[in-house]
């Protein structure tokens, strides 16, 4: 049975959604990053980068959420154009990588500097808030012309989008005003969230009680770079 290493963060949730859409049997294995379980040697043998998600599919190991989405969709021949030379495949790859290299990293850094980083942080927060808004603005404009991220067909790009869009008010710190600025993103978010597979994916978070306290131990595991500041 496929093994799925996860927590409740945006990137693992993308994969949970695809697993549920595909109705694949899988074993969900929690990795509590606030307890440092990502650094366990057994998990680092699966993902040497010590991050979730990752999967083990028989003899095959895949890490990075977008790589997993593409691997599973290609394996099953669903939610992805199968002709590698088709315009649709090119569009899917372009937007999947846009989420992988733009939406995810800049949203993540916006969260970090808005909610977790120590002062002074004005310069860093300004940079990542600006870039998060810029990337979501590109996506918003793209969705104004189409139902889904790639034309009129639901795909793994919409699943990758869903993982982060669920948290957009928190990412941007804009609360209820978020969706008046990004109505097309809200439309797609609602459409994906209404799918039964999305509701089953959300329920995976209840299978395990993850640590919620951001105490000194959790900060040491989540932000190990700060240990260098103590030695400076």
Domain-by-domain residue ranges, the chain? 2-78+203-231, 87-194
In angstroms, the CA 125 to CA 130 distance is 8
- Cis peptide upstream of residue 50 (ω within 30 degrees of 0): no
Give the class (CATH, top level) of 87-194.
Answer: mainly alpha
Residue 48 confidence class, pLDDT cut points 50, 70, 90 = very high
pLDDT at 103 over 90: yes
pLDDT at 231 over 70: no
Residue 221 confidence class, pLDDT cut points 50, 70, 90 = very high
pLDDT at 195 over 60: yes
Average pLDDT taken over every residue of the chain: 96
Residue 47 confidence class, pLDDT cut points 50, 70, 90 = very high
Distances (CA, A) of 105 to 135, 148, 212, 218: 10, 22, 22, 21
Residue 79 confidence class, pLDDT cut points 50, 70, 90 = very high
In angstroms, the CA 15 to CA 229 distance is 35
In angstroms, the CA 35 to CA 103 distance is 27
Give every CB contact of residue 176 below 8 A, 6+ residues apart in sequence.
169
In angstroms, the CA 97 to CA 91 distance is 10
In angstroms, the CA 47 to CA 25 distance is 21
pLDDT at 66 over 60: yes
Establish whether domains 2-78+203-231 and 87-194 are of one fold: no
Main-chain phi, psi angles of 102, to 5 degrees:
-120, -65
Q: CATH topology for 2-78+203-231? A: Glutaredoxin (3.40.30)
What proportion of the chain, given as a percentage, has pLDDT over 70? 99
pLDDT at 206: 87
Flag the least confident range among 77-81, 168-172, 228-232: 228-232
pLDDT at 232: 53
pLDDT at 226: 84
pLDDT at 230: 78
Q: What would the two tokens of residue 2 be? A: 């496929």
132, 134, 139, 141: CA torsion to nearest 10:
150
Whether 36 and 221 have beta carbons less than 8 Å apart is answered as yes
Which of the 8 DSSP states describes residue 102? I
Pairing of strands 2-6, 26-30: parallel
What is the DSSP annotation of 18-42? HHHHHT--EEEEE--GGGTGGGSHH
**pLDDT, tens digit, 9 for 90 and up, residues 153-171:** 999 999 999 999 999 999 9
In angstroms, the CA 163 to CA 15 distance is 9
When comparing pLDDT for 106 and 232, which is higher?
106
């Amino acid at each position: 049975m496929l093994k799925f290493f996860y927590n409740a963060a945006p990137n693992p949730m993308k994969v949970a959604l695809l697993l549920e859409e595909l109705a694949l049997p899988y074993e969900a294995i929690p990795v509590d990053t606030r307890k440092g379980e990502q650094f366990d040697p057994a998990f680092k043998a699966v993902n040497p980068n010590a991050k979730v998600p990752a999967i083990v599919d028989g003899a095959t190991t895949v890490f990075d959420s977008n790589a997993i989405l593409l691997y599973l969709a290609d394996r099953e021949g669903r939610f992805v154009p199968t002709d590698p030379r088709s315009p649709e495949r090119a569009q899917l790859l372009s937007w999947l990588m846009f989420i992988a290299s733009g939406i995810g990293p800049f949203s993540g850094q916006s969260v970090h500097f808005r909610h977790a980083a120590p002062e002074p942080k004005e310069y860093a927060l300004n940079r990542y808030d600006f870039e998060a808004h810029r990337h979501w603005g590109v996506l918003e404009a793209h969705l104004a012309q189409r139902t889904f991220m790639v034309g009129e067909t639901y795909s793994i790009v919409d699943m990758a989008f869903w993982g982060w869009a669920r948290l957009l008010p928190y990412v941007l710190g804009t609360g209820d005003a978020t969706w008046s600025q990004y109505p097309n993103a809200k439309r797609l978010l609602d459409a994906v969230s209404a799918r039964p597979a999305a509701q089953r994916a959300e329920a995976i978070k209840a299978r395990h009680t993850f640590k919620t306290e951001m105490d000194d131990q959790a900060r040491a595991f989540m932000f190990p770079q700060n240990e260098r500041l103590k030695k400076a």
